[in-house]
Amino acid sequence: MGVLLNILMVPAILVGLFFNTMGVLGILRFPDFYTRLHADTKATTFGSVFTSLAVILWAFKAWLASGHDGQFVNLAVHAGFAVVVLAVTNATGAHALARSAYRSGLKPKQAVVDRMDGVGASAVAVPESPEALPAAAIREEAS
């Protein structure tokens, strides 16, 4: 069993490292902010899923070897929890970064199409600053 887990662990680490490396290379190679976001938020999430999977497999192996010691259950659950939190916060974080960048006036470079050009301010009506809104409207927006 321990050998089988070792055999599964190595490809998980290698796949995780590969995608994380691609994320780093993407930051260096892509031309503008938006395209770099693609590389560093998404490729790293996917890579971290596999490195965490390796941690879970290792914890399972140690749990078996130690005669069912509870601390390894704890380790595996924490690693799994980290993946879930990472996936959710990476998606929302990437969206928040892209949204604030566009609102700050950063246009995508080399873009073949930009359907948000000009629409952003009017169709998705959000004022420049929170002070411009009455308090009730801010609560409405937040809810």
Partner 1 sequence: MDVEEKTGKAFYMAAFATTWVFAFAVYLLLTAGSGAVLGLWAGGELKLGILIAFVVAAASSSIFGKEVSGRMLNPLRWLRMLGYVCGGFFMEMAKANWDVAQRVLTGRIRPGIVRVETGMRTDTGLVMLANSITLTPGTLTVEVDPVARELFVHMLQVPEGMEARTSIEARELFVGYDCPAAIRRMAE
Q: Which of 12, 16, 19, 60 binds partner 1 (CB under 8 A)?
A: 19
By CB under 8 A, how many residues form the interface with partner 1?
53
* Distance between CA atoms of residues 127 and 118, nearest Å: 14
The two tokens of residue 76 are 């595996």
The answer to whether 56 contacts partner 1 (rule: CB under 8 A) is no
47 within 8 A of 17, measured Cβ to Cβ: yes
CA distance 27 to 102: 19
Binder among 14, 88, 132, 137 for partner 1 (CB under 8 A): 88
Q: Is the Cβ–Cβ distance between 37 and 98 less than 8 Å?
A: yes
Question: What does the alpha-carbon distance between residue 83 and residue 22 come to, in Å, rounded to a whole number?
Answer: 19
The residue within the footprint of partner 1, chosen from 5, 8, 13, 18 (CB under 8 A), is 18
The site for partner 1 (CB under 8 A) is made up of 18-19, 22, 25-26, 29-32, 34-35, 37-39, 41-43, 45-46, 70-75, 77-78, 81, 87-88, 90-92, 94-95, 98-99, 102, 108-117, 119-120, 123-124, 143
